[in-house]
């Protein structure tokens, strides 16, 4: 055979493959999302997310330490509140003595170098289970903005390094930036959930927090899965309003969107490998249909290849361990 081109030469052995690999995945690219609850030494497994649990603050710190020692630089926190603390305006979200601010303080005092990212949205605090305030059955954008801004300021006061608005209200990045700066938190970053779709893949997350909408759905604020041009509008607004990072969510089913955002902004891009993506891998592995570790690392590498600088994933510890082997 007189073949001139033999692409297989570049795949001949592990050393050559390592030299020519275009995309890398390391623990430094990962963010571990965690669910926190009241109590001590309390670990409540989440049925729809095998291997994940709601943790009391002491166990939260232990788990975060494990991740940090494996090279994961950041965690993202979601508080699981009891029903009695929820109301229509998410009042508990600005309580400095509340679960979330106490969690942030505990993490920052035990692990000062660990980056703590907090979620800005009403849903964990809302008796309606929506990210904004519900008035006459509609999500009121402008009534919600000052509540989000105050929530972000309280999170920063507790020590959050990055606040991450996941609510999809219009104008929230500007409102949050202004409020942070007025309170002298000019160094606190904003990771905007810029392009967040109305997705069925969030199902297990809503079980974890018991935060599913009590009525209606989130389609009037989260994006339509059929759209990609619309991202440009969200990207331009978030850049102009002062976002530091842009997030695309969910991850793998939206790899084309990650690429599109990557090519249309110079800001760092985060991808969220969401609860449903995690649970699909776990469920298939439990049934012996696929190899969890291998498919996990491949999924995360593909998100990096699509253009994500960082990846939020519940499997950050599993991945970091596998990468260390």
Which is nearer to ligand PBG, 35 or 68 (by Cβ)?
A: 35
Please give the Cα distance from 87 to 214 (Å, whole number): 12
Residue tagged 């902004």 (tokens): 265
**Site pattern 201..240 for ligand PBG (x: CB under 6 A):** -x--xx-----------x----------------------
Q: Per residue in 300-311, is it b (16+ CB within 10 Å) or e — as a string?
A: bbbbbebbbebb
As measured in angstroms, the least distance from the Cβ of 24 to ligand PBG is 24
Count of residues touching ligand PBG (by CB under 6 A): 12
**Is 282 among the catalytic positions?**
no
SS3 8: helix
- Residue from the set 128, 131, 154, 318 that interacts with ligand PBG by CB under 6 A: 131
Q: Of residues 86, 218, 249, 282, which has the active-site annotation?
A: 249
3-state class (DSSP) for residue 233? helix
Residue 121 lies near ligand PBG (rule: CB under 6 A): yes
Residue 254 near ligand PBG by CB under 6 A: no
Which residue in the block uniquely carries the two structure tokens 């519900």? 134
Are 31 and 320 contacting, i.e. CB atoms less than 8 angstroms apart?
Answer: no
**Among 191, 193, 192, 217, which Cα is nearest to 203's?**
217
Which helix (H) or strand (E) segment is 145 a member of?
Answer: helix 141-158
Show the binding pattern over residues 68-107: x = contacts ligand PBG (CB under 6 A), - = does not: ----------------------------------------
Q: Does residue 144 belong to the site contacting ligand PBG (CB under 6 A)?
A: no
Q: Of the two residues 87 and 181, which places its CB atom closer to ligand PBG in the complex?
A: 87
The DSSP symbol for 224 reads: P
In angstroms, the CA 14 to CA 24 distance is: 14
Q: Is the peptide bond before 250 cis (omega within 30 degrees of 0)?
A: yes
Restricted to residues 46-65, the positions that interact with ligand PBG (CB under 6 A) are none
SS3 (DSSP) at 43: strand
Q: Does 119 bind ligand PBG (CB under 6 A)?
A: yes
249 annotated active-site:
yes
Per CB under 6 A, contacts with ligand PBG among 262-321 are: 274-275
Q: Which is nearer to ligand PBG, 78 or 260 (CB)?
A: 78
Percent helix, strand, coil in the chain, to 5, is: 45, 20, 35
Residues 217 and 214: their CA atoms lie apart, in Å, by 9
**Which member of 118, 166, 192, 313 binds ligand PBG (CB under 6 A)?**
166
The binding site for ligand PBG (CB under 6 A) comprises: 119, 121, 123, 131, 166-167, 202, 205-206, 218, 274-275
Active site (catalytic) residues? 196, 249
């Amino acid at each position: 055979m007189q073949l001139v081109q033999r692409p297989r030469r570049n795949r001949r052995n592990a050393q050559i493959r390592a030299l020519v690999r275009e995309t890398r995945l390391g623990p430094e690219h990962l963010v571990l999302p965690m669910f926190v609850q009241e109590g001590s030494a309390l670990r409540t497994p989440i049925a729809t997310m095998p291997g994940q649990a709601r943790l009391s603050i002491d166990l939260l710190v232990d788990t975060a330490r494990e991740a940090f020692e494996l090279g994961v630089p950041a965690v993202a926190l979601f508080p699981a509140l009891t029903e009695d603390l929820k109301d229509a305006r998410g009042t508990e979200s600005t309580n400095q003595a509340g679960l979330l601010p106490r969690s942030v303080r505990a993490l920052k005092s035990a692990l000062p170098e660990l980056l703590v990212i907090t979620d800005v949205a009403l849903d964990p605090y809302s008796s309606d289970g929506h990210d904004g305030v519900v008035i006459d059955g509609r999500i009121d954008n402008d009534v919600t903005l000052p509540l989000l801004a105050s929530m972000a300021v309280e999170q920063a006061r507790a020590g959050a390094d990055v606040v991450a608005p996941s609510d999809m209200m219009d104008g929230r990045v500007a409102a949050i930036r202004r409020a942070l700066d007025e309170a002298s938190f000019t160094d606190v970053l904003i990771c905007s959930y810029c392009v967040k779709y109305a997705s069925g893949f969030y199902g297990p997350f809503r079980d974890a927090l018991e935060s599913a909408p009590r009525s209606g759905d989130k389609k009037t604020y989260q994006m339509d899965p059929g759209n990609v041009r619309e991202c440009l509008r969200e990207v331009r607004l978030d850049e102009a309003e002062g976002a530091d990072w842009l997030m695309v969510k969910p991850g793998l089913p939206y790899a084309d969107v990650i690429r599109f955002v990557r090519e249309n902004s110079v800001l760092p891009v985060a991808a969220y490998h969401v609860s449903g993506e995690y649970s699909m891998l776990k469920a298939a592995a439990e049934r012996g249909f696929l190899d969890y570790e291998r498919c996990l690392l491949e999924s995360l590498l593909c998100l990096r290849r699509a253009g994500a600088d960082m990846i939020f994933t519940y499997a950050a510890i599993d991945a970091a361990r596998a990468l260390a082997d």
